[in-house]
Structure 1
Amino acid sequence: MLSDILTLTLYLIINLLTIILIGNLIFEYFSRDKTNRKGFNYLFIICFFILIFYIIENIRFFTDISKEFFWILDFSFVSVILFLIFLFSYANWEKINKSLLYLFVFTNFSAAIFELFFKIRYPALFDFVNVFFIFLGLLFFYFFILDFLMIKNAIKESKKTKQYHKKLLFYLVSCFLIFIIVLSLFYFIPYIQKSKFSGELNIYNWDTYVAEDTISNFENIYGIKVNYKTFEDDNLMFEELKLNSGEYDLVVGEGNLIKEMIKLDLLSELNKKNLQNFKNLDEKFINQNYDPQNKYSIPYMWGTTGLIINTKYIPDNTDSWDVLWSNKYSGKIGLLLNSEEAVALTSKYVGGPLMPQNNAQFEKIKEFLLLQKLLLKGYILTADLQDLLVSEELWALNIYNGNAVVAIAENPNLKYIIPKEGATIWIDNWAIPKNAKNKRNAELFLNYILEPKVNADITNEVKYATANKAAEEFLDSEVLSDPIIYPDEETIKRLDSFTNYEFSDEMNLKILEFWNELTGGEENAN
């Protein structure tokens, strides 16, 4: 909060000085007669564009105070320059004001080049408003050169004297050296930035749940080593976290698991001051019942778990979970290696709630899962299901919608269905374990992954809907229009969430014990 107040105060001072500078320039301009205004016009144009620059920057600044971290350094230089211009404005305009204004121009030009270089090197952080900023910086430099060539007294006096050529050479060499020095500094910027952060970051997440370059880009920008571990069942992740919470700095869990983790005091409260990009989230995904004020979790992706079939072997009009219990497809049926999803679809199939609320409901679910086991090819890892579906070794399977989109793209015979009995809708969230050793690095990663372009790149690749509203403008059109990724309202009416149910410790234990018995405790039974 204090840093925001200081930054805001500095910004207001700069704006005040800018107004004084422009006002002083206008006053001097119109107080001169026409003959004395010669050589003043280009200076006036420069200041006019400086004013436009600050109008644009005001719009950017007051919509996001903390986003552009390099502003404070840039504005510190600019504020000093503007203060000196104001201080000496009545002393000797021609010699002092103009030279200081040139320094101001070089400062903004340097900032523009820095912006351009940084965004080219790290395109994931690019902001299209910066195009205007870069343009103005280059424009400042253009007017500086124009002013130098057009109104220098040396040009008026003699273009052939040795004095002029020496002066011209001095200016050109100076400009070139300044440009080289500034440009060379850009190669050190990433290392300076990296020096602010160090150490490691231990992430525990689903497989294939970030883009291919998400982790490597983060490591390159911040110099933090990421150790990335994956799981196939978030309930097993939950059990692992209870035993070894200090081993992980970031975990991903569905809303109901987040609720359980909060209840067991397994999560650390988030420092929202380090999460400036939290504002990018869609309001409908924040303040959920499992974490009302998002003290502990950040919404990441949302999706559904439905049924996928191969229409070459199974009727196209199939609309029920019944296909997973059909003798006709014995040996060609699979079930995700996820206890929660297996219990949920079975409960829906037998006419119950998403999750069993009593022993009678649970016993019926057990009965149907035991019958189904005889028909299964196996319990399938998410890492394996795509190959099995595309190669047509599997004809029917419960599946996450994002995995379905990827598989269908490779085999058009595949079809994704939300069965008539109902299916699950979920929101996955990032959270920091209470005993995390690298909490600051974890929050840095969260803020990074909340960047609209970074987040959109993930959604475009993994094919799950994002909870990040600001990322939608960067999403591929085919992603936004895909009903599997973004289901319509009629489909959503058939969906249910785990967060709508209370889970007793006793029932959770029964489900886990039965699941281990059913699958033989193996990671994959196919």
Structure 2
Amino acid sequence: MKKLMMTFLAILALIAALLLLEWGLTASRAQHSSQKGDTLTFYNWGDYIDPSILTDFEKTSGYKVDYQTFDSNEAMYTKIQQGGTNYDLAVPSDYMVAKMKKAGLLAKLDKSKLTGMDNLNKQFLNQSFDRGNHYSVPYFWGTLGILYNRQKVNGADLKSWSALWSERYKNRVLLVDSARDILGMTLLSQGKSVNDQNKADLAAAQGKLSSLMPNVKAIVGDELKLYMAQGEGDLAVTYSGEAKNAIEKNGDLAYTVPEDGSNLWLDNLVIPKSAKHKQAAYALINYLNRPDVAAKNAQYIGYATANRAAYEKLPKNVQNDRAFYPKQSVLDKLQVYQNFDQYWTQKYNDAFLEFKLGKS
């Protein structure tokens, strides 16, 4: 009986020990989860990061990533402004950074928590939309240019935006559906700025743009790169990243930036003021700033990296591709879009809408 009682007590002690161990592990996991901030919600453009990078980040950091996407800066702005969903990291373009900052939607960055900033190309820091980079970190960059089929168009004829008005391109040109870009390239063809806020200049640009209509085959959105890859257009005004995607599908295509200048666009990493997991956001920014990670990401995306150290790790044929990594003489002529107030935004939109109605 005594032996049976001792066995029973030993079993009870073992059970108690196991329960205590389980409680300790649960508490440890809970504490670790709390320290790591649970799940980071990353709000980005579709297919704008190598998925394996997020997987590797989760493994090395302990954070989980909820990757959500948007298809326009305006859609992203509205969702963050409404505040219904928590976003910890987002990727607005240049002018949208200024708009979000003005609306009080962004958290000021704690530079002491950022690493790898020295890896970034100074060319893309301290831009007008965020002097001092107090709210944003450059991610990818690119240009607006002309994508063309080398079998049907002589690239040497595309040194100026005005070349698009040539009669030889009747019903052969595709345009990206964007007021700032299309009016901007028209203003550049007249020696003006993409940020022009002069009524007479805008009226003159609108007049010149209307004369382009006979050459315009279609005004389209994301499907533009597919149309060009399939040979449904001979020339297109589009973004360097979209051009890169089309060229990968059709080797007859090439991309150029006219010598009279263009738009320099920058997509940036920002932390919304409403973010609940800021430490996790800093961790992902720092991970993306690593040269090896940024180079891998650039290879997957096909866009130009803003990370100088990552650029140096890219294959030589990529580094020397002047369509996507232009010479300094071209870079010096690029202009970043300024954030227009409501009045000028509407003026540009109305002018572009009138132009589009002429196509319908």
Mark yes or no: TM-score above 0.5: yes
CA distance in 1, matches of 2:309, 2:86: 32
Residue 321 of structure 2 corresponds to residue 510 of structure 1 = no
Match of 2:146, SS state, is strand
Structure 1 unaligned spans of 5+: 1-189
Who is 1:336 aligned against? 176
CA distance in 1, matches of 2:335, 2:179: 17
The one-letter code of the counterpart of 1:206 is W
Distance 1:369 1:505, change over 3 A: same
CA distance in 1, matches of 2:79, 2:163: 34
**Residue 280 of structure 1, CA deviation:** 2.8
**Residue 268 of structure 1, CA deviation:** 0.9
Higher Rg: 1
Distance 1:368 1:266, change over 3 A: farther
Structure 2 unaligned spans of 5+: 1-28
Who is 2:7 aligned against? none
Distance 1:379 1:482, change over 3 A: same
Larger % of strand: which? 2
Residue 149 of structure 2 corresponds to residue 314 of structure 1 = no
The one-letter code of the counterpart of 1:425 is L
Residue 237 of structure 2 corresponds to residue 387 of structure 1 = no
Match of 2:131, SS state, is coil
Who is 2:272 aligned against? 433
| Superposition pairs of residues 73-112 of structure 1, within 5 angstroms | none
Match of 1:276, SS state, is coil
CA distance in 2, matches of 1:518, 1:228: 34
CA distance in 1, matches of 2:82, 2:181: 23
Residue 88 of structure 2 corresponds to residue 226 of structure 1 = no
**Percent identical residues:** 29
CA distance in 2, matches of 1:294, 1:339: 27
The alignment's TM-score, normalised by the length of structure 2, stands at: 0.78
Distance 1:339 1:219, change over 3 A: farther
Distance 1:475 1:244, change over 3 A: same
**Residue 297 of structure 1, CA deviation:** 0.6
Who is 2:336 aligned against? 497
Who is 1:158 aligned against? none
The one-letter code of the counterpart of 2:174 is G
The one of 428, 449, 458 equivalent to 2:288 is 449
CA distance in 2, matches of 1:456, 1:378: 35
The one of 341, 346, 352 equivalent to 2:192 is 352
Distance 1:193 1:371, change over 3 A: farther
Residues 39-93 of structure 1 show CA distances to partners (whole Å, capped at 9, x for unaligned) of xxxxxxxxxxxxxxxxxxxxxxxxxxxxxxxxxxxxxxxxxxxxxxxxxxxxxxx
CA distance in 1, matches of 2:171, 2:52: 37
CA distance in 2, matches of 1:241, 1:325: 41
Match of 1:455, SS state, is helix
**Residue 375 of structure 1, CA deviation:** 4.3
The one-letter code of the counterpart of 1:463 is G
Distance 1:411 1:257, change over 3 A: same
The one of 191, 205, 226 equivalent to 1:365 is 205
Who is 2:18 aligned against? none
The one-letter code of the counterpart of 1:226 is D
Who is 1:9 aligned against? none
**Residue 229 of structure 1, CA deviation:** 0.7
Match of 1:268, SS state, is coil
**Residue 228 of structure 1, CA deviation:** 2.0
Higher relative contact order (CA 8 A, sep 6+): 2
CA distance in 1, matches of 2:164, 2:83: 36
Count of matched residue pairs: 329
Residues 272-303 of structure 1 show CA distances to partners (whole Å, capped at 9, x for unaligned) of 33323334323443333332322211111222
**Residue 317 of structure 1, CA deviation:** 2.0
Q: Does structure 1 retain, via aligned residues, the 8 Å contact 2:264–2:336? A: yes
Q: Does structure 2 retain, via aligned residues, the 8 Å contact 1:206–1:252? A: yes
Q: Does structure 1 retain, via aligned residues, the 8 Å contact 2:149–2:234? A: yes
| Superposition pairs of residues 144-183 of structure 1, within 5 angstroms | none
CA distance in 2, matches of 1:365, 1:311: 29
CA distance in 1, matches of 2:123, 2:38: 35
The one-letter code of the counterpart of 1:480 is Q
**Residue 270 of structure 1, CA deviation:** 1.6
Q: Does structure 1 retain, via aligned residues, the 8 Å contact 2:295–2:313? A: yes
CA distance in 2, matches of 1:264, 1:444: 25
Distance 1:508 1:315, change over 3 A: same
Distance 1:229 1:362, change over 3 A: same
**Residue 446 of structure 1, CA deviation:** 1.2
Larger % of helix: which? 1
Who is 2:16 aligned against? none
The one of 291, 294, 299 equivalent to 2:130 is 291
**Residue 511 of structure 1, CA deviation:** 2.6
The one-letter code of the counterpart of 2:172 is K
Q: Does structure 2 retain, via aligned residues, the 8 Å contact 1:276–1:447? A: yes
| Superposition pairs of residues 270-289 of structure 1, within 5 angstroms | 270-289=109-128
Who is 1:35 aligned against? none
Q: Does structure 2 retain, via aligned residues, the 8 Å contact 1:205–1:252? A: yes
The one-letter code of the counterpart of 2:346 is L
Match of 1:474, SS state, is coil
Q: Does structure 2 retain, via aligned residues, the 8 Å contact 1:245–1:266? A: no
Distance 1:346 1:490, change over 3 A: same
For the aligned residues, what is the CA RMSD?
3.3
The one of 260, 275, 282 equivalent to 1:421 is 260
CA distance in 1, matches of 2:352, 2:80: 19
